[in-house]
Chain A
Amino acid sequence: MDRTEGTGHEAPRFPLPSEIADAPGAEDWRSMYPYFTRFQPEDDQRFWFYNSMHFPEPMPAFDTITAEVPYSAIGANTARVFVFPTTLGIEHRIVNGRVYITAIPVTDPSEIERRAAIFGERASYYYQNWDALYEGWKIRMRALIDEIESVSVPALPEFEDAAVVMESRGVAQNHYLRENFHKCIDLFSKMWHHHTEMLMLGYGAYVVFFQFCRQAFPEISDQTAARMVAGIDVIMYRPDDELRGLARLAVEAGVDDLFTEGCSPAAVLASLAERGEGGKRWLAAFEEAREPWFNVSTGDGFYHHHRSWADDLTVPFTALPRYVAQVRDGSLGARPTEALRAERERIASEYRELLGSDEERAAFDQMLGLCRLVFPFVEDHKFYCEHWFTSQFFNRIREFGALLARFGVLADAEDIFQLHHTEVDQALSDVMLAWAAGGPPLGGAHWRPIVASRKRMLAALKDWSPPPALGPVPEALNDPAVRMLWGVTQERIQAWLSPASDEVRGFGASSGIVEGPARVLMDVNQIGEIRDGEILVCPVTAPSWAPVFGKIKAAVSDIGGSMSHAAIVAREYGMPAVVGTGDATKRIRTGQRIRVDGDRGTVQVIE
């Protein structure tokens, strides 16, 4: 589609929000989303970009909560809590199912000064006490996780338990239907507030260090700067490490014959129970590893259909046979943490030596030190928030869906994700009333056609190619949050204006050049399709993809940056990776031979 509408003397611009036509077959998409996500006429005057980093797919109605709640939390953090001097918060809009965002910068110098005074004091407090605050953060986050795990859906039996009377509780279960649902939403909101609590400051440390590196070493790649920062004992490696451990144990306990390519998790687990002591030992270790490490999501925590390993054991069981084979032939090493640590130190000290003066070296030490201080939070919070908490959150919502299905309001438990959370509220009220009155709920006739039509619309919206940006090209990109979190720069905007025809461009995240057949996967649940030696092309690479990295030659993703987990894992496996291409999954087809250049950040279709 046309990226620009500029005519000769006009400044170049992207399509305006008001010019976007409804995607064919999804003309009624607006009915899926609340009014406050709609573009307004005056929004044509502003620059918006497609947040493909977090929302690479059209949004099911319920899943818009993963935009609404985070933006509510991030803006509060930057605009109101820490009072960032040059940015307020982020606004989001949905068009044709896609989330577009823009930031509201502060540009008035006196306003910046007024805010800076408050910000300096507050931000310093967090930086000065970072480790202690992070320890406290973990305790609070674990408490939130415990809470979300313990939320129950009332059974709504024919008769209440006698205890309601004998203990004079006085409140019937249908009340808790709404209360507990609200609790899920409220906990999700709190989780996101804590998520942003330290993250913006953490990214600030990164940006300053990266900027310093680029000024001192104009030719340095982001990935090299990232390697000086990268942590070694990062929680996100744990799930994969656990799998390796389980593979070793399988061989040691003599049950490795059960782990074959394409094996069924249920069948393997059943067989293990009959394999005596060895099987018992393995199952015990499996249970141990599962909680919490299998709470890792197959996505990034923004869509309900990205299930966790615990929910979909085929993901870990796709990796296990491969690891088992590597244990047998002796090729499965432990992560060479000491070597990685030494390499990180070598790189940092050699760049340090190349600096021009001792003054620069002292500044470098300060900035690198700060990055390493914040690194554990920046890297590990994802496991607690987007993976562990969010997997549990969606599962609780699923349980409410099961109840709605049991009462006939929905055809299937999963259909709850076709309703906005405020619509779920209505459906639950319907059930509460019906259970109380003894009649049938009315929702079946109301919601089922809506759900069916929304599913059709989502399928149609998948075919729509969202422009990377909308509105006028900004004169200056003056919002630090947009640069920090999304890496949107003037160069990036220029690239969006004039997309290269034969080349898919992104960020080189791990160096090297390889050629091979592409395997385009739109969904992690398809990872079983990957064959040895293929190049993975996917919308987003999340940590849970780690097991397939042993099979593939290179990785290409639509979204992600040089600090994304895919990038880190690719570097560890020493394979080229290009991330943040925007549309690789649309422009490349499975089976095509492609060349991935992890140095230049390009992908070429050869045939």
Chain B
Amino acid sequence: MTSAIVRRLSEVGSADKPSVGGKAAGLGELTHAGIPVPPGFVVLAEAFGQAMDVLDRSGSLVRSVASLSSSDVSAIARVAAGVRERITALPLPGDVVAQITTAYEALSRGGAAVAVAVRSSATMEDSATASFAGLQDTYLAVHGAAAVLDAVRRCWASLYNDESVAYRRRLRLSEDGLGMGVVVQRMLRPRSAGVMFTRSPVTGDRSVVAIEGTWGLGSALVAGEVTPDCFTVSKVTGEITGRRIGAKLRFHSFRPNEPGISSSAMPLALRGRPCLTDDEARALAAVGRRVEEHYGVPQDIEWALLGDDPACPPLHGDPADHIRLLQSRPETVWAARSRAPVATPKPRASDHVLAWLEKPL
């Protein structure tokens, strides 16, 4: 066997971003911080690099992309489609196939073909200034080694999605040395899932965690198919300072041996019912706070709450034991804004009162 091109997520960390991509590095880092993530592995960016070496030995392919103008939409569409087609059609070296297949089977624990999520992990994504959010592909509920291998190539190809290319051209980023790891993780069958910000997305308040969630897979929320439940939890007191129950009309789930996500009508009984108890919201907020402390800046997190039955009975035991994070990245919107101090010290403390009372309201 030549060098390993697959590593377990628990073996990587932030420092490995150049070799595994941002998403994988982030997930590994969470594991080190003691935050559970679904088990999985990453196909190193090196595998992508080797594939591109075979495909584009002369570099002409990359140059054809680099020469595109960000405003020439039709040219981008034509060239990018050609690149994607060639990547997805590329035969993988036997060693790469073997390593990915072995790692996938290890995830299955010898049972039937387990459903996995195959997620792009570009080496330049999730920098603090540019999120690249959603530009590369993720494939949910992928079953079987052959399908995984396909999905890995499609993730690679998604580096050349029209929007990705246009985005890079607009920012005048280099096309040389693009890297793409691919994360393969066991699919969760969550009772509830969603996103959370470790500050208020509305007001920027850093003392709260804002949680949005729905029943079942969080993809329903990300895709905008539901109006999620929203909770605002104080980081300091655990008090729920905001609670809005959304009309959750669609339900995302997956079935064994059936690829992809199915979207169905939300059972009536669940539509107006909160997808989290107060205790669960507080437990999520506590995890969010730990992640923020680990990274030192407010985070934008995808979360899931484990529960086997999608008909969603209440969980038993400590809610913290059921929490898994699917992603965490720095919050970028409020981080980019600067705020004038609310108040500055005055010669005497009572001057604050005098100042307030001396001006007309």
Point out residues on A near B: beta carbons under 8 Å.
84-86, 105, 107, 109, 112, 116, 119-120, 123-124, 127-128, 201, 204-205, 207-208, 211-212, 215-221, 223-224, 227, 346-347, 350-351, 354, 356-357, 359-360, 362-367, 369-370, 373, 476-480, 483, 511, 513, 599-600
Contact = CB atoms under 8 A, between A and B. Distances in A.
A85 B348 contact: no
A600 B360 CA distance: 31
A580 B97 CA distance: 69
B345 interface: yes
Given A347-B237, A350-B236, A363 B352 contact: yes
B354 interface: yes
Interface string B71-115: 000000000000000000000000000000000000000000000
Contacts of A207: 353, 356
B299 to A, nearest CB: 15
A278 B234 CA distance: 50
A373 B235 CA distance: 27
A32 B130 CA distance: 73
A363 B360 contact: no
A534 B361 CA distance: 42
A45 B198 CA distance: 49
Given A351-B207, A599-B241, A366 B353 contact: no
Interface in B338-361: 339, 341-346, 348-350, 352-354, 356-361
B309 to A, nearest CB: 25
B342 A215 contact: yes
Contact of B203 (A105, A205, A218): A218
12 contacts: A86-B358, A112-B358, A112-B359, A116-B354, A123-B353, A220-B241, A346-B236, A360-B343, A363-B341, A364-B343, A366-B352, A478-B360
B150 interface: no
Contact of A119 (B204, B341, B358): B358
A219 B342 contact: no
A347 B236 contact: yes
B360 A220 contact: no
Contact of B342 (A119, A360, A370, A513): A360
Given A363-B352, A599-B243, A216 B358 contact: no
A350 B345 contact: no
A356 B339 contact: yes
B323 to A, nearest CB: 22
Given A218-B203, A477-B361, A367 B343 contact: yes
Contacts of A216: 342
Given A112-B360, A216-B342, A366-B349, A119 B237 contact: no
A205 B344 CA distance: 16
A212 B349 CA distance: 13
Contacts of B348: 124, 127-128
Contacts of A357: 341
A324 B158 CA distance: 73
Contacts of A204: 353, 356-357
A363 B346 contact: yes
Nearest to B345: A362
B205 A366 contact: no
B208 interface: yes
A208 B200 CA distance: 23
Q: Chain B binding site: helix, strand, loop or mixed by DSSP?
A: loop
B240 interface: yes
Interface string B4-32: 00000000000000000000000000000
Interface in B239-281: 239-243, 278
Interface in B121-162: none
Given A219-B242, A360-B343, 8 more contacts: A85-B357, A116-B358, A207-B356, A221-B241, A224-B239, A227-B237, A356-B342, A362-B344
Contacts of B342: 212, 215-216, 356, 360, 363
A363 B347 CA distance: 10
Contacts of B120: none
B198 to A, nearest CB: 11
A365 B344 CA distance: 11
B185 interface: no
A216 B343 CA distance: 9
A105 B357 CA distance: 12
A221 B239 CA distance: 9
A128 B352 CA distance: 13
B168 interface: no
A369 B349 contact: yes
Nearest to B242: A219
A373 to B, nearest CB: 8
A599 B341 contact: no
A119 B200 contact: no
Nearest to B338: A356
B232 interface: yes
Nearest to A124: B350
B290 to A, nearest CB: 14
A222 to B, nearest CB: 11
A282 to B, nearest CB: 41
A370 B240 CA distance: 28
Nearest to A484: B357
Nearest to B236: A350
Contacts of A479: 361
B297 to A, nearest CB: 13
A268 B337 CA distance: 69
A85 B353 CA distance: 12
Contact of B200 (A107, A218, A365): A218
Contacts of A212: 342-343, 352
Given A124-B350, A354-B206, A360 B357 contact: no
Interface string B191-202: 000000000100
Contact of A354 (B207, B232, B343, B361): B207
Contact of B234 (A107, A205, A220): A220
Given A220-B207, A357-B341, A370 B352 contact: yes
A219 B208 contact: yes
Nearest to B200: A219
Nearest to A217: B207
